[in-house]
Each structure stands twice: as C-alpha cells, then as structure tokens.
C-alpha cells in the first residue's frame, strides 16, 4: 500500500503510524520521519507553493523507485502546503518493511528527494521581508548518494 497526500491541513503522526502498523503482520520495522518548520533567523512563517498534479505524480514516481530498491510493505507520504509557522509539521514519511535497514534507507531516500528535488517552492517571511528560497546546489550530496 502506497498513500501520498499533499494537503493544507495538519496531519496526526500517530494515525499515520497506526495505518502503517495495520499493513499485514509481516512488518517488523517502521521507520518514520517528521519534518517541522524551524524558527531560525527570525522566521515568522513559511509558505509552500506546489504544482498540484505534477507534484503528486513526481512523488509517486519516487515512491515506486523506493519500492524497486527495497522490500517495502507499506509507505505513506503526507506533505503540507500553504502558510506554516515555526513548530508546524511540514512532512511525514513512513515506511513499513520486514527489516529495519530497508525501512530506514527507504525513508531517508524519500526524504532526501522531498527536501531537494520535489516540485515545491518556499517563501520565507521575516520581519519586513519576504524571500523566495533559492534552489540548493542541484548536486546536493544528500541526493547524489542514491544515484
């Protein structure tokens, strides 16, 4: 089971994990990741723009790539968009597998993709200014290690 949701609403980590746990009984391992807005450098809020449709299908393609690389029993990705404040949740990635290495590696692979290559754009609001975050170096080491 693969579930991918892009939504403005918050999500409940416990409910996402419960859905992964219900994935059949063969799971021995669930690795999850929750990303939150950091209040660094006077950040007041962050607004996430995304390309609806393309965003879901690109994330789905990477979820399929993860399933090719590791034996995954269930996989859930929830990504929020819109205006978020420091401390707000941004993203949930959860992977259920028989063994811990596969679960951890697939979750890291998906997070590295989501944080560097997924079609989102970030507008940061600080006192008196708004800045669109620049793309990182596209050769970001965190994503390159999977290639």
Contacting residues toward a copy of itself, per CB under 8 A: 12-15, 17-18, 21, 25-39, 86-87, 89, 98, 100-101, 103-104, 107-108, 111, 115, 142
The phi, psi pair for 70, rounded to 5°, reads -130, 150
> 42-81 mask for other proteins (x: CB under 8 A)?
------xxxx-xx--x---------------------x--
Residue with tokens 């299908």: 57
Angle between helices 54-69 and 100-116 (to 10 degrees): 150
For 59, other C-beta atoms within 10 Å of its C-beta total: 22
Indicate which of other proteins, a copy of itself, none lies near residue 108 (CB less than 5 to 8 Å, by partner kind): a copy of itself
Whether 33 and 107 have beta carbons less than 8 Å apart is answered as: yes
Residue with tokens 């409910």: 15
Nearer to other proteins, 82 or 105 (CB): 82
Residues near other proteins (CB under 8 A) are: 35, 48-51, 53-54, 57, 79, 90-91, 113-123, 132-136, 138
């Amino acid at each position: 089971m693969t579930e991918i949701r892009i939504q403005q609403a918050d999500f409940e980590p416990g409910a996402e994990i419960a859905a992964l746990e219900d994935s059949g009984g063969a799971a021995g391992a669930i690795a999850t990741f929750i990303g939150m807005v950091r209040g660094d450098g006077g950040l007041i809020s962050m607004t996430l723009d995304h390309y609806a449709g393309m965003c879901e299908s690109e994330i789905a393609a990477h979820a399929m790539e993860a399933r090719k690389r590791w034996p995954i029993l269930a996989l859930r990705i929830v990504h929020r968009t819109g205006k978020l404040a420091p401390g707000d949740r941004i993203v949930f990635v959860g992977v259920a597998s028989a063994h811990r290495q596969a679960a951890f590696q697939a979750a890291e692979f998906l997070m590295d993709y989501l944080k560097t290559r997924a079609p989102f754009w970030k507008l940061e609001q600080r006192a008196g200014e708004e800045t669109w975050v620049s793309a990182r170096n596209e050769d970001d080491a965190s994503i390159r290690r999977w290639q």
